[in-house]
A and B are shown apart, each in its own frame.
Chain A
């Protein structure tokens, strides 16, 4: 059974810092991995989707990498801003439906 883990559970950084969020998964037989953002009281918004054949995807200040063999993905946020404060979740698509991690709650202070 696929298990997805995100560490740390919470992260606080000053504005302007570059930061990395981690996601690990136990079964490398995946189709893709997605990173989502969740704001308080809101639903999830898909940020980046990496196919199993890809190594990384970029969107603006966000870069997500995927290493299937080691069961790891990272979300790199460059030059963080207070507006980046949210919970970030990764989700893995294998033979089952999407399996979500529990998320990293990010706070970026001005």
Chain B
């Protein structure tokens, strides 16, 4: 009954450091997403993967890279962290058609970049 699992839950980085946020889902979903949530901004899509082997940019992709390692796993990498990337990051997955997307979310990663 795990659903979408994200690690780590909390992370503090110094400017310029790199890190990878991990996400895995056990619902056999085709589509996976990375969002960031900032106060007063709502959730914004960083990258998504419609199926294994494909990735596409979302609304705010700059400074991030992603890898769809297999159907279960979708990772988000910050190559050189900046204070502007301080945020709460959510991974999500869905297995509906393009017009019906019921998303299942992970519990989030709170990232602070000093």
CB distance from B61 to the nearest CB of A (A): 12
Check A100/B42 contact, CB under 8 A, given A43-B107, A44-B90: yes
- How distant is the Cα of A43 from the Cα of B37 in the complex, in angstroms? 10
B107 in contact with A98 (CB, 8 Å): no
**Binary interface encoding of chain B residues 79-114 relative to chain A, with 1 for a CB under 8 A from any of its CBs, else 0:** 000000000001010000001111111111000000
Q: A43-B107, A97-B48, A97-B58 are in contact. Are A102 and B42 (CB under 8 A)?
A: yes
Chain A residues contacting B40 (CB-CB under 8 Å) are: 102
Shortest C-beta distance, B37 to chain A (Å), equals 9
Asked whether any CB of chain A lies closer than 8 Å to the CB of B4, the reply is: yes
Q: Complex: how many Å from CA A98 to CA B45?
A: 8
Dominant secondary structure of chain A at its interface with chain B: strand
A4 vs B43: C-alpha distance when bound (angstroms): 11
Please, which residues of chain B bring their CB within 8 A of the CB of A99? Answer: 42
Known: A34-B102, A93-B99, A98-B101. A41 touches B43 (CB 8 A): no
Interface size class of A (residues with CB under 8 A): 20 to 34
CB of B100 within 8 A of CB of A43, answer: no
Q: Which residues of B contact A97 (CB under 8 A)?
A: 33, 45, 48, 58, 101
Q: What total of chain B residues lie within 8 Å of the partner, measured CB to CB?
A: 22
B103 to A, closest residue via Cβ: A46
Report whether B100 and A98 are in contact in the complex, using a CB–CB cutoff of 8 Å: no
CA distance A97 to B103 in the complex (A): 11
Q: Which of A31, A32, A93, A100 contacts B43 (CB 8 A)?
A: A100
Query: Does B2 sit at the interface, judged by CB under 8 A?
Result: no
A34 to B102, CA, bound (A): 8
The smallest C-beta distance from B55 to any residue of chain A, in angstroms, reads: 13
A contacts, CB < 8 Å to B: 4, 31-32, 34, 41-46, 49, 51, 89, 91, 93, 97-103
